[in-house]
A and B are shown apart, each in its own frame.
Chain A
Amino acid sequence: MQIAEIKSGAVTVAAFEGRLDTATAAAAESKLLALLEEGGVVADLEGVRYVSSAGLRVLLKAAKQAKTAGKPFSVCGLQAPVREVFEISGFDKIIPAYATRAEALAA
Chain B
Amino acid sequence: MAMSTQLALRLRPEAEAVPELLDRLEAFAEEAELSPGVAHRLALVAEELVANVAMHGVGASFVEVALRQAEGALLLDIVDDGPEFDPLAEAAPDTEAGIEEREIGGLGIHFVRKMVRSLDYRRQDGCNRLAAVLDAG
Contact = CB atoms under 8 A, between A and B. Distances in A.
Interface string A56-81: 11001101100100000000000111
Interface residues of A, number: 28
Interface stretch (B37-45, B58-66, B68-76): B37-45
Nearest to B99: A94
Contacts of B36: 49, 79-81
Given A52-B48, A81-B36, A90 B22 contact: no
Contacts of B105: 53, 57
Chain B binding surface, main DSSP class: helix
Interface stretch (B11-19, B81-89, B116-124, B125-133): B11-19
A89 B104 contact: no
Contacts of B115: 88
Nearest to A82: B40
Interface residues of B, number: 32
B15 to A, nearest CB: 5
B36 to A, nearest CB: 5
Contacts of B98: 94
Contact of B104 (A52, A60, A94, A95): A60
B51 interface: yes
Contacts of B108: 52-54
B51 A54 contact: yes
Contacts of A60: 99, 102, 104
Interface in B90-116: 93, 95-100, 102, 104-105, 107-108, 110-111, 114-115
Given A23-B16, A88-B111, 6 more contacts: A21-B22, A53-B110, A57-B105, A64-B99, A88-B110, A88-B115
Ranked nearest first, the 8 interchain pairs of A and B with the lowest CB-CB distance are A90-B95, A81-B40, A53-B107, A53-B108, A94-B99, A22-B18, A23-B18, A22-B51
12 contacts: A21-B22, A49-B40, A52-B51, A53-B44, A53-B107, A57-B104, A61-B104, A81-B36, A81-B41, A85-B40, A88-B114, A90-B96
